[in-house]
Amino acid sequence: MIYSVIVDLSASEVDRIFEYKGEGYTVGTRVLVDFANRRTEGFIVAAKETSDYDPAKIKDIIRPLEDFPAISKDLLELGEFMRKEYHLRWADVLRLFIPAEMRGSRVKALSKKQASLTSSDSLDVILNSLKPNATMQRDLVTFLYLNGATLTETLNNEFGNSALRALIDKGIVQTHEIVIRRTPYKDLKVAKTEKRDLLPAQQQAVNTVLGDRQGKYLLHGVTGSGKTEVYLTIIEQIVSEGKTCIMLVPEISLTPAMLSHLRERFGDKVALLHSGLSSGERYDEWLRLKNGEAQIAVGARSAVFAPLQNIGAIIIDEEHDQSYISDFNPRYNTAEVANFRSEQQGALLLLGSATPSLGSYYAARQGKLKLIEMPERINQKPLPNVEIVDMTLETRSGNKGIFSRLLKQQLAETIAKGNQAMLFLNRRGYSSFLMCTKCGYVAKCADCDVSLTVHRDDNMLKCHYCGKHYYMLDKCPNCHESSFRQGRIGTQQIVELLNSMFPDVKVLRMDADTTQTKESHGKILDSFAKGEAQILVGTQMIAKGHDFPKVTLVGILDGDQSLHHSDYLATERTFQLITQVAGRSGRNEDTGTVVLQTYTPTHYCLQLAAKQDYFSFYKREINLREASAFPPFSEIIRILYTGEKEKDCIDQLTEQYAELSNLKGKYSRDFYYMDKMRCPLKRAEKKYRFQILIKISCESVKEILPRIYSVCDGKKRSSVQISVERNPQNLS
Ligand code: ADP
Ligand code: ZN
């Protein structure tokens, strides 16, 4: 047979099919081949009887890398779709479908030896064949008789190595290899909660979704409306019918609490796919899904590629979350991939959120998704009461601090009552920049066009773009004075301020700095849930999904922060963030309060977020998008040019811009806009950044996009990297 092989090298020059000979391979198998005189791993993507090449020149496949096809036919088909849709290289796509550690054989199944008795005689008969004084051997035999097959390491620990060896020599005991699955979070305490009946709104949502098993749904349920229970009930039903499910959550929601719910409900049927696992655990969980040992894949965006067959449901929780869009190579949109897989498998697709993305809600209003609304919190618990505080008035009345008088008073009350508070500020570190008051010098990263953030815990200046650390300045390198002004307050400084305001209150902080290790994220949340601290300060990490019954106060310290970006998505993001953060308050007995501090108190986004009025916000925002032809009424294409040589970038961009202008001339009606410019972030990680922004009509994308791709493929300078992004989430 002739096999079409994609070599596992991520380079455009080798992004095509190479033919090899062999017999008996299944398509999807990973193989070792001789490529350019080197042994290289590859994927078989097709098989055929004959080749157009001279058969004598076609090399043999050296050997398979696993004794099973790592990639199913269905996933290969998905790969084909993604390659075209996102203009990706084969190798980059195929790598998404297997655990990274499988490549280069960096991980293997873990196997161990087990021992068992060879005969099924009664215990007396076996013991009679042993000497009366061979106590260890007799105890071991008795143990095996009572407990059945046992790991040899356990037996050796218990009875010593020689007893086991002697029994094996006598033929009384035999050993065999078994595969051990490394279970992530093995020691997780599984919450025992009594099973609750669904409330009418939840039952209705479940019925609607299960009513059409191939439907596509958008579940819009306010924070605390019980969406999780809806998802779990649907999964339970689908799995009981012998099908499999994928449930996607933002990475941040994969907390021990969430896992313990899933374990409780589904036990070993769940497999977890996420970056916090060890490579062995990740590989084993993947295998359990592939072998059908587990039927439910739970994970962040990459779990959409779970190696499942016969999928009955794909669920995307918090569907508006930005983490579902991969914005580096390989770029893809998880919801689109899920959509393809659900159609391919005849599965239902369910997107859920308290603040659906405008695009999804628009699609639902257009009838492309079936809209299910859950407008009330469980047991009619009122939504929190949101107080907007005008910070300009605070300043005018002499309060120049970051805490408004109302927030201080509310904090004191919450603490006195023994309740908990969460304070949200999307800026980590101590303060956002360091500036010389004499000459105006601002400390910047040497590699990025980014001012450095002051960090107090290790007294460093850090670049939040590339992560580089610099020593703290004691003198201005420009004028040698030592008088500095610091920029806006970050989470570290908030904690410091709280400690001096409330010396007896324990404060926790959760941001990228305090969650660098695998478990730290869960530990902080756990500790807060147990009531070990009364205040939790955090960045957007604390906005999502968490359910802390004792939280009755949420403070949003800088409600404007994301509002005034030039980006067309800024208002939508701000609305989502505020609604989500506010939704953490008052989830139990006491009604919650939210204090929203802002310098633009009358902005419709903040006003409507305060009322949690999604629909009014949607109407207002969608009208604006339509009037200005922004997505979903157009597609934005960004071509990004980056490179260390500024001139090369400019030359490359200029050439391609000319070609694109020709294209624009041909399709003038469909090109709403095109321009070239420096990126707002002019330089990052030593590379200069330039972009071409294009806005085209949705109808013309299928025709125009491939032409744009082919212009970009005609790149002439190896020092310049070009990437094309569709509807980028971030225009910096
Ligand atoms: P959402 O994900 O919509 O924000 P959750 O799923 O976290 O909401 O549910 C909110 C709260 O209501 C949780 O504490 C949950 O345990 C509780 N809850 C959910 N369903 C029920 C039910 N049927 N009966 C009683 N409590 C419920
Ligand atoms: Zn940097």
Tokens matching residue 403: 């805490």
Q: What is the helix (H) or strand (E) element at residue 257, kind and residue range?
A: helix 256-266
The least confident of 223-227, 410-414, 635-639, 698-702 is 223-227
pLDDT at 400 over 60: yes
Rounded to 10°, the helix 161-169/152-159 angle is 120
| DSSP single-letter state for residue 23 | S
Confidence of residue 223 (pLDDT cuts 50, 70, 90): confident
d(CA 218, CA 552): 29
Distance in angstroms (rounded) separating the CA atoms of residues 562 and 556:
12
The two tokens of residue 400 are: 């120049």
- Does the beta carbon of 121 lie inside 6 Å of ligand 1? no
The span from the CA of 331 to the CA of 88, in Å, is: 8
Query: How many Å lie between the centroid of ligand 2 and the Cα of residue 469?
Result: 9
Tokens 């047991």 appear where?
A: 379
- Number of Cβ within a 10 Å radius of residue 602: 9
Residue 335 — very low, low, confident or very high, per pLDDT cuts 50/70/90? very high
Ligand 1 pocket check for 357: Cβ under 6 Å: no
Q: How far is CA 609 from CA 222, 251, 290, 392, 615, in A?
A: 12, 24, 43, 20, 10
Average per-residue pLDDT in the chain?
Answer: 91
User: Using one digit for the tens of pLDDT, what is the confidence trace for 481-539?
Assistant: 989 999 899 999 999 999 999 999 999 999 988 888 767 887 898 899 899 999 999 99
The Å distance, Cα 220 to ligand 1 centre, comes to 14
Spatial neighbors of 607 by CB under 8 A, at least 6 apart, are 388, 601
How far apart, in whole angstroms, are the C-alpha atoms of residue 554 and residue 552? 7
Q: Is the CB of 193 under 6 A from ligand 1?
A: no
Residues 6+ apart with CB under 8 A from 84: none
- Interval between CA 444 and ligand 2 midpoint (Å): 8
Is the distance from CB of 456 to CB of 432 less than 8 angstroms?
no
Q: How confident is the model at residue 62 (pLDDT cuts 50, 70, 90)?
A: very high
202 CA closest ligand 1 atom index: 23
Q: Identify the band that residue 382 occupies on the pLDDT scale cut at 50, 70 and 90.
A: confident
Contact between 258 and 249 (Cβ < 8 Å)? yes
Where on the phi/psi map is residue 668: left (φ > 0), alpha (ψ -120 to 50), or beta? alpha
- The yes-or-no verdict on residue 192 having pLDDT over 80 is no
How far apart, in Å, are the Cα atoms of 469 and each of 270, 273, 442, 462?
A: 40, 32, 16, 5
Ligand 1 atom at minimum distance from 198 CA: 23
User: Is any atom of ligand 1 closer than 6 Å to the C-beta of 229?
Assistant: yes
Q: Is 203 exposed, middle or buried (0-12, 13-18, 19+ CB in 10 A)?
A: middle
Pocket test for ligand 1, best of 197, 547, 551, 614 (most atoms within 8 A of CB): 547
Residues 103, 8: contact at Cβ < 8 Å? yes
- Residue 200, C-beta contacts closer than 8 angstroms, at least 6 positions apart: none
Angle (CA) 724-566-87 rounded to 5° is 10
- What's the DSSP call for residue 719? T
| Average confidence (pLDDT) over 261-270 | 88
Residue in the structure block whose two tokens are 């609604």: 579
DSSP3 helix / strand / coil % (the chain, rounded to 5): 35, 25, 40
d(CA 680, ligand 2 centre) in Å: 15
**Protein residue with least CA distance to atom 6, ligand 1:** 226
35-40, Cβ contacts within 8 angstroms, sequence gap of 24 or more: 35/7, 35/9, 40/7, 40/8, 40/9
- The mean pLDDT value for 418-432 works out to 93
User: In terms of DSSP bridges, do strands 593-598 and 453-455 run parallel, antiparallel, or are they unpaired?
Assistant: unpaired
Please give the distance of CA 418 from its chain centroid, rounded to a whole number: 34
Give 370 Cα–ligand 2 centroid separation in angstroms. Answer: 45
Q: How many residues can be counted in the chain?
A: 732
Token digits for 47? 């098989």
User: Measured from the CB, is residue 352 less than 6 Å from ligand 1?
Assistant: no
Ligand 1 atom closest to the CA of 374, numbered from 1:
3
pLDDT band at 107 (very low <50, low <70, confident <90, very high): low
* CA distances, 525 to each of 59, 432, 595, 600 (Å): 56, 26, 22, 32
Q: Which two tokens stand for residue 695?
A: 């806005």
Please say if the pLDDT value at position 545 is more than 60. Answer: no
Residue 389 has pLDDT above 90, yes or no: yes
- pLDDT surpasses 60 at 586: yes
Convert 169-215 into a string of H (helix), E (strand) and C (coil): HCCCEEEEEEEECCCCCCCCCCCCCCCCCCCHHHHHHHHHHHHCCCC
Q: Which two tokens stand for residue 604?
A: 């419709």
